[in-house]
Structure 1
């Protein structure tokens, strides 16, 4: 319940000998860690010795090296304030805007204590979505590679037996969605959290908005009262306050951002356009800003499918991610985008919180979000960790009121995105044809799925065949005629 239908990749495991692995790391592992490049979540001016910036917080030398291997040059604000408190053994509630480095803030203290007192089922991290759970586990593993960390991801869409086998290897850290964690607590023989030391509730406001209260309550009933709890959220809602009172003991409140806001390094622009030319202006903006990596947000799954196909028909390297895709395809889309194989990700709000895609240059709001707060989460995909970024919101005659609410919420007036009308009109005919073809492709794909037939080349999730893309319109029309 509340989780997108999806499938997760297999879990990873480290050294089987837990105690010896936690005490030392092999030379090969150290070389691999130090050789990794990462954009990381660190920001700030840094220091003469970047490693010292983390050790000054109380982080041990081995983990500080892991931070540097990930490209974290210095701690973020949330890390500076939360890490020392957590290392001192206090419960923490952290309020910070997206992209602030929250994962590092709770992962480093957990790994440090685990290094001193290794045990299986040491920490449980609850996440609202499967993609975020996978990402959190990846950061834990990257930071803990030199100490033989074992982790498991428990999310829906994966065979329970495969996850039960992974749990049988007794991992140190469990990252999962509440529903699947409860499933394993109820059905997996020998699995319990009776000795759990750390509970982390990440994106707590979203966990509660997705109606996970019942599952969280079930988990709280079966874990020790004598534990450490960390709660991280973008906002302090009434539900979050209630959860805080229920599961945290005298927490230290770390607040980086007291209200919804956007970072100063984000250039926010808008484009006021007629609704009937919306697709044309999207193509114009992408053409003007060619070479940039972009996330385009739509309001619906069909909108994401359609725009990804439209752009692909025009030669853009676009790929969709939305809630109606299988887990394998969603993870595949995300990985292709992160690797640079595709530079445009067309997404619904399923991807707008928690996913750290560090190289995004631009966010385009193709549809103005109905909830102004979702705007902040969307544009949080760019200008992360001190980097610069740009956002562009397409505003039609029907969106003016919602757009004004967004400006009121963030306390800023957006600047107008300058256009050349003649250049836009030149694109109209090509865009209309690509749009027509995208509609045909969607109907064909849906028809084939309805008949339970393969839609290999016409599947709107992705197209790898360059020749197919070049001849798409002609081949498609011929196939329609042949069936008639």
Structure 2
């Protein structure tokens, strides 16, 4: 909730100043609507201002971005930093979307000092990013693979002057096999730097990385267990696998008008489900790793802006993304890793708001579902879905499934049978939605 009164604004500024932040930065934080520092910010910011290396263990949505961004921006305010400010900090992120979100938040917090920030992510032209690097940005945010590409190929881009290195969502970075790229970055980064490592959990790989790149770090631990917020209503529905799409359609009609994220296990599943739901009349857009970056950004912006009410996504959207006013999270596929459940449902019920999560459990998912309840220490409420009411949607759902299958085949192959660059389902403006030649007019 935004700070609205002068008294509340003044109180918020004082709360951030108490951590040792300069007034300009405290005012920037208050201007974003933050009433007070989050627990991870309270613990990490004073240590980082003192120049310590920090390893932060905090759950998703805990305010980690500001925890590492504000001390970096404070360093840029110093006179020494102003003289050698190009490539002052590098922030590594596991996904493109999270990197772009971090860039946006850094620019918002640093607007008072005209901070220059560049994003280096895949799916976007290398030349345009090279132009951005040529403008000597203060802070570079990127995915490890693309950062290594530019270190190897972009003239003038170097980490010789780097003062701060941040590894955000370190457990995810390592889970996605970025170890080799991170090693390459560490080899060219100066040893005299400040390093910050933030992770949701301390895995053996994260511990190894900590020993390799942090000097006498201080551990900041906000939570020691995976948990969900009290304002989240968690439900499950035990459904036959063959009727899962029908139950999903029924639930979406029950929450009509709500902004919902639907998580699937694979990219193809996201594509198929987006097409199916469009054929049923729902405003659905997909986001997954096989989409081009402009389409991923476009889909995300349409969902954020309220133009589309459903975002069908893989776990590429489960970490770190701050999407305002997500009312419902649906686990179409039960996550195989129980910890991913916490990250998924963390997209709703943020910043004190209420939210709702539904997990569709088939006869093949019972063990995975039980692991989630054991991890969170909570028993979920069963969602009531009368079978006769659900089955009223069966004929329409079966037809939508058939058409979605045809649309995917049409999108994957051209007349010669070769794969095309554009895939049906990735572009929410494709004419093969409701007007597809195979769609029956009676629906």
**TM-score, normalised relative to structure 1:** 0.85
How is 1:209-228 mapped onto 2 (pairs within 5 angstroms)? 209-228=175-194
Deviation at 1:157, TM superposition (A): 2.6
Matched, 1:120 2:86: yes
**How far 1:200 sits from its partner (Å)?**
0.3
Distance in 1 between the 2:434 and 2:193 partners?
59
Structural mapping, 1:404-443, within 5 Å = 404-443=370-409
Matched, 1:76 2:42: no
CA displacement at 1:427 relative to structure 2: 1.5
Q: Which residue of 1 aligns with 2:27?
A: 65
Alignment-derived partner of residue 207 in structure 2? 241
Spell out, residue by residue over 1:18-50, the C-alpha distance to the aligned partner (whole angstroms, 9 max, x if none).
Answer: xxxxxxxxxxxxxxxxxxxx979xxxxx89722
How far does the alpha carbon of each residue in 1:346-390 deviate from its partner, in whole angstroms, 9 at most, with x for none? 011121112221221111000111111111121111122222211
Rounded Cα–Cα distance in structure 2 between residues aligned with 1:299 and 1:470: 25
Q: 2:69 aligns with which of 98, 102, 107?
A: 107
Deviant stretches of 4+, over 6 Å: 452-455
Aligned residue for 1:462? Answer: 427
Task: Report what 1:349 is aligned to.
Answer: 315
1:256 counterpart = 2:218: no
- Higher mean C-alpha displacement, 444-453 vs 244-253: 444-453
- Superposition CA RMSD, Å: 2.1
Q: Distance in 2 between matches of 1:333 and 1:432?
A: 26
TM-aligned CA deviation for residue 405 of structure 1: 0.9
Q: Secondary structure of 2:438's partner?
A: helix
Mapped pair 1:49 → 2:11: yes
Is the partner of 1:448 in helix, strand or coil? coil
How many angstroms apart in 1 are the aligned matches of 2:438 and 2:319? 37
Which SS does the other structure have where 2:62 is aligned?
coil
Q: Whole-Å Cα distance in 1 between the matches of residues 221 and 155 of structure 2? A: 41
Mind listing any 5+ residue stretches in structure 1 that lack a counterpart?
1-37, 41-45, 479-484
Matches within 5 A, 1:93-242: 93-116=55-78, 117-118=81-82, 119-242=85-208
> Using a 3 Å threshold, how does the CA distance of structure 1 residues 201 and 316 change in structure 2: closer, same or farther?
same
SS in 2 for 1:363: strand
Counterpart residue number, 1:306: 272
Structure 1 residue aligned with 2:355, among 366, 374, 389?
389
> 2:409 and 2:187 mapped to 1: Cα distance?
48
Deviation at 1:452, TM superposition (A): 6.7
Which one of 51, 65, 68 corresponds to residue 89 of structure 1?
Answer: 51
Kept in 2: contact 1:47–1:53 (CA 8 A): no
**Does the residue aligned with 2:201 lie in a helix, a strand or coil?**
coil
Q: How far did 1:468 drift?
A: 7.2
Most deviating of 144-153 and 446-455: 446-455
Q: Distance in 2 between matches of 1:401 and 1:222?
A: 45
* CA pair 378-429 structure 1, distance change in 2 beyond 3 A: same
SS at match of 1:93: strand
Shift of 1:158: 2.8
Report how far residue 471 of structure 1 moved: 3.7
Q: Look up the match of 2:329.
A: 363
Distance 2:123 2:433 in 1: 31
**How far apart are residue 217 of structure 1 and its match?**
1.6
Q: CA deviation at 1:454?
A: 8.6
Q: Say whether the 8 Å CA contact 2:118–2:141 is kept in structure 1.
A: yes
Could you give the per-residue CA deviations for residues 108-134 of structure 1, whole angstroms, max 9, x where no partner exists? 111111112321111010111111111
Question: What's the TM-score, normalizing by structure 2?
Answer: 0.92
Contact 1:263-1:383 within 8 A present in 2 as well:
yes
Aligned to 1:375: 341
Provide the rounded CA distance (Å) in 1 between the counterparts of 2:421 and 2:335.
34
Write the deviation string for residues 181-225 of structure 1: whole angstroms up to 9, x where unpaired: 222222222221112111100000111112222221221122221
Deviates more, 1:193-202 or 1:72-81: 72-81
Alpha-carbon displacement from aligned partner over 1:424-478 (angstroms, at most 9, x marks no partner) = 12222222221221112112112239557796xx83123348x975544xx3369
Query: Match of 1:297?
Result: 263
Aligned residues: 431
